[in-house]
Structure 1
Amino acid sequence: MLLLLIFGIVLLPKASTLKCFQCPPGPSGSCVNTENECPSNDFQCGALRVSTFAGASKVSDITVKMCAMAEECVEGSLNFGVSRTVITSKCCTSELCNSQPAPEPMKSTPNGKKCFRCDGQTCSGTLNCEGNEDHCISSTVDLGGKKTTMKGCASKVMCSDSQTVQLPGGIGVGLSCCQGNYCNSAISTRAGLLLLVAPLVTWVMFS
C-alpha cells in the first residue's frame, strides 16, 4: 500500500499536466498540429499570432501553438510608423483546447498619444500611436552588424523585461520605454529586451 502511495505521489504532477496542440511558427494556416504534453501544470495551452503591417497592407502573418506560460498570453503592438507589428494570443486551460489559431488583430485607431519616429537619418517625425500603445520607445536594432536607431510607439507589455517572443527570423531589439508625449527624444530609463518577431520588418524598412 505504501509503495502504491509513493508511486501515486510521484506520478500525480505528470498526470495533471495539460496536453496541448503544438505547431511551430509558420504562415497562417500552413502548420500541422501535433499533440504535446506540457512540462508542468504551470502551463496553459496557447495560440499566438504575430502580424506585421506596412501601412494598411499585411506583409507577414505568423502563427504558433504551444504550451504557454501565463505571461506569454499577451496582446500588444510595436509601431515604428513604416511598420507595425501586432501580437494577439488566446490561451485556455483544458485538454487540447488550442485547436484554433489566435484571432486576427482588430482594426485600431489613433489614441491621442504622440511619439517621435525615425525617417531616414533623422528621428524628429511625429507618429500617432494606435490602439493600446501607451508608451514611446527608442530602440537599437542590430542589422548585419550595423546598429540602427528606431523610434515609435508600443504597448506596455512590450516594455516588460520578462516579455520575450522568439520566432525564426526574429531580430534582437533593445527597447527603452517612457510615458508622455514625445518623451522618446532622449531616453535614459532602463531598457527592456524584446526578441521580436517581424521577420519582414527589416525588409519593409531597408529594402
Structure 2
Amino acid sequence: MDLQISVFLLFLLFTAGHSLQCYECDSQTNSCADQKATTCPAGSSWCRSSTAATLVGGITTKAMSKGCDSDCQSLSLNYGSMRTTYSCCNTGLCNRQDPPDPVPNGKKCYTCDEKNCSKPLSCSGDEDRCITLSDNVEGLIMLVKGCVSKNLCETMASVKNGQSISCCEGNLCNGAQIAT
C-alpha cells in the first residue's frame, strides 16, 4: 500500500512540475514591463505574444498582449493603417522578450486609403502574400488590401463569413483600384 501511495505522489509531483509557464500581460503602451510569469491551464501548450498598431490621423496607437494559448499560430497582417502580429513558442517562459519591430522583407502589396487602393505598402517579416478582402455592409462595398502571412491567409480563406477574400504571391499582385 505504501508503494502505491509513493508512486501516486511521485506522479503528482512529476505532472505538476511540467506545467507550461508563460509571461502574461496586457498593455496599451507596446511594452510589457509589468509582465508576470503564470502557470498555464491544462490544455495550453503555447506561449503567445501579440502586438497591434493602429494609425489614425497621424497618431499611432500600440497595444501588446502576452499569455498562454491552446492553439497558436505565428502570423502577421498589415493593412497600412493597422498591423497585427502573433508570435508563438512552446517552452517555459519563452515569451519574455517583446517581439521585435517588423523588418521589411522586400515584398510590396497595394493598400487602400479613403480615396483609392493604389498605394504601395512594404511588407515585413513573414508577410509573403498580398490580400484583398471585400464585404458588402448594408449596401456599401468595404475593400481592404495589404500584406499577410501565408498561414493567416489560408485560415481567413477557410472562414469567410460572407466576405470575399483572395491572396496572391507576386509583388503588387492584389491590383490597384478605386475604393467605393
TM-score scaled by length of structure 1? 0.57
Tell me how far apart the structure 1 counterparts of residues 77 and 90 of structure 2 sit (CA, whole Å). 22
The CA deviation at 1:60 is: 1.8
**How many residue pairs are counted as aligned between the two chains?**
166
Say what the alpha-carbon RMSD is for the aligned residues: 4.0
Counterpart in the other structure of 2:166: 176
Tell me how far apart the structure 2 counterparts of residues 104 and 143 of structure 1 sit (CA, whole Å). 36
Tell me how far apart the structure 1 counterparts of residues 101 and 39 of structure 2 sit (CA, whole Å). 28
Determine if the alignment matches structure 1 residue 127 to structure 2 residue 120. Answer: yes
Out of 140, 156, 159, the residue aligned to residue 153 of structure 2 is: 159
Task: Tell me: CA distance 1:153–1:65, structure 2 relative to 1, closer, same or farther (3 Å).
Answer: closer
Tell me how far apart the structure 2 counterparts of residues 47 and 134 of structure 1 sit (CA, whole Å). 20
The CA deviation at 1:16 is: 0.7
- Residue type matched to 2:123 in 1? E
The CA deviation at 1:161 is: 1.2
139-148 or 2-11, larger mean C-alpha shift: 139-148
Q: Deviations over 1:139-184 (max 9, x none)?
A: 246889966221222232431418xxxxxxxxxx874322234543
Counterpart in the other structure of 1:118: 112
The 8 Å contact of residues 130 and 167 in structure 2, kept in 1 or not, is answered as yes
The 8 Å contact of residues 139 and 175 in structure 1, kept in 2 or not, is answered as yes
Tell me how far apart the structure 2 counterparts of residues 21 and 60 of structure 1 sit (CA, whole Å). 22
Tell me how far apart the structure 1 counterparts of residues 104 and 138 of structure 2 sit (CA, whole Å). 32
The 8 Å contact of residues 18 and 93 in structure 1, kept in 2 or not, is answered as yes
Residue segments in structure 2 that go unaligned for 5+ positions in a row: 157-162, 176-180
Q: Deviations over 1:88-113 (max 9, x none)?
A: 6474623x45444x13414536x254
Determine if the alignment matches structure 1 residue 51 to structure 2 residue 53. Answer: yes
Tell me how far apart the structure 2 counterparts of residues 52 and 182 of structure 1 sit (CA, whole Å). 22
Residue segments in structure 1 that go unaligned for 5+ positions in a row: 163-172, 186-207
Identity of paired residues, percent? 27
Task: Tell me: CA distance 1:21–1:143, structure 2 relative to 1, closer, same or farther (3 Å).
Answer: farther
Tell me how far apart the structure 2 counterparts of residues 38 and 47 of structure 1 sit (CA, whole Å). 14
The 8 Å contact of residues 107 and 122 in structure 2, kept in 1 or not, is answered as yes
Counterpart in the other structure of 1:60: 61
Higher Cα Rg, which structure: 2
Task: Tell me: CA distance 1:30–1:106, structure 2 relative to 1, closer, same or farther (3 Å).
Answer: closer
User: Structure 2 matches for 1:29-44, cutoff 5 A?
Assistant: 29=31, 32-40=34-42, 43-44=45-46
SS in 1 for 2:155: coil
TM-score scaled by length of structure 2? 0.63
- Residue type matched to 2:63 in 1? I
Counterpart in the other structure of 1:76: 76
